[in-house]
């Protein structure tokens, strides 16, 4: 193996992604009128744990880096950039977000509490791209070296909420307050960190295979949504805002193998 080199490699690996600490909050605030005259105002909100699982997939990777031995030593140092297309996701169907709140009659009745649900037909979180930069320390043994390192990551996280409808339990009736279902989506780059251990083996001074295990975790991602709504029930018109927020983090573990060319 060479004393020092830059390298470029391609390969693939099997990874498992866990979707940690998911949180979803939703609320509705509205004004109720009859014949164009406001008769009541109301609000309700609540949160839930969507209970996401994990997803295991094969993923292509590309890596670029370099290494150099310390003078007169079998020890070496280096760093590498790794890009992986993970395309892992987890979703929950027909997710209810419990609501509690109340409305105030603007005419003569006192305030009244009520419950209900915001129902999400499909809530999905997905991680697509992940890029890591990992400085490492290693030790060489003739045609191979072993190494370990740690560094930052950045990951592309998507969230999709489809078919969101708010229902209220009022006077024993299950009422669709928000009308037509709404869809929300967001994408963001999320920072995190990774640790890697690996082994390389040189077939020639220019070509080597790299096998490694990487554990990575993102920082918390978060997003929010908001949309106006209107509906009519039994001669009453309901106009308001459906809004909320969500958050979570992701953990990825992967075993990867790549063929690399040293320069």
- Judged against a pLDDT cut of 90, whether residue 176 lies above it is answered with no
Mean pLDDT of 135-145: 97
Mean pLDDT of 205-219: 97
Instruction: Give the confidence band of 213 by pLDDT, cuts at 50, 70, 90.
Output: very high
Average pLDDT, the chain: 93
pLDDT at 126: 97
Residues 160/120, Cβ–Cβ less than 8 Å: no
Instruction: Give the confidence band of 103 by pLDDT, cuts at 50, 70, 90.
Output: confident
pLDDT at 157: 97
pLDDT at 187: 96
Among the listed ranges 14-28, 51-65, 92-106, 237-251, which one has the minimum average pLDDT value? 92-106
- Judged against a pLDDT cut of 80, whether residue 146 lies above it is answered with yes
Rounded percentage of the chain residues whose pLDDT exceeds 90: 79
Q: How far is CA 26 from the centre of its chain?
A: 18
- Whole-model pTM over 0.85: yes
Residues 155/126, Cβ–Cβ less than 8 Å: no
pLDDT at 109: 64
pLDDT digits (tens, 9 = 90+) for 51-94: 999 999 999 999 999 999 999 999 999 999 999 999 999 999 99
pLDDT at 237: 87
Among the listed ranges 21-25, 28-32, 70-74, 88-92, which one has the minimum average pLDDT value? 28-32
- Judged against a pLDDT cut of 70, whether residue 233 lies above it is answered with yes
């Amino acid at each position: 193996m060479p004393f020092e080199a830059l390298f470029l490699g391609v390969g693939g690996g099997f990874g498992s992604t866990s979707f940690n600490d998911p949180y979803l909050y939703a609320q509705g605030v509205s004004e109720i009128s009859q014949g164009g005259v406001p008769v009541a105002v109301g609000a309700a909100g609540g949160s839930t744990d969507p209970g996401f699982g994990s997803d295991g997939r094969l993923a292509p990777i590309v890596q670029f880096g370099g290494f150099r031995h310390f003078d007169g030593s079998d020890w070496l140092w280096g760093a590498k950039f790794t890009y992986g297309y993970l395309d892992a996701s987890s979703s929950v169907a027909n997710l209810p977000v419990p609501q509690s709140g109340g409305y105030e009659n603007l005419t003569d009745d006192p305030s009244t509490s009520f419950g209900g649900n915001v129902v999400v037909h499909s809530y999905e979180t997905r991680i697509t791209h992940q890029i890591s930069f990992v400085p490492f320390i290693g030790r060489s043994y003739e045609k191979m070296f072993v190494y370990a390192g740690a560094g930052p990551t950045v990951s592309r996280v998507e969230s999709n909420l489809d078919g969101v409808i708010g229902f209220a339990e009022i006077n024993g009736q299950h009422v669709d307050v928000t009308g037509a279902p709404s869809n929300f989506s967001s994408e963001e780059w999320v920072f995190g960190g990774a640790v890697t251990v690996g082994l390389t083996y040189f077939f020639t001074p220019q070509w080597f295979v790299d096998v490694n295990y990487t554990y990575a975790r993102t920082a918390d991602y978060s997003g929010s949504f908001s949309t106006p709504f209107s509906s009519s029930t039994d001669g009453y018109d309901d106009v308001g805002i459906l809004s909320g927020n969500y958050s979570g983090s992701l953990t990825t573990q992967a075993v990867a193998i790549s063929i690399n060319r040293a320069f």
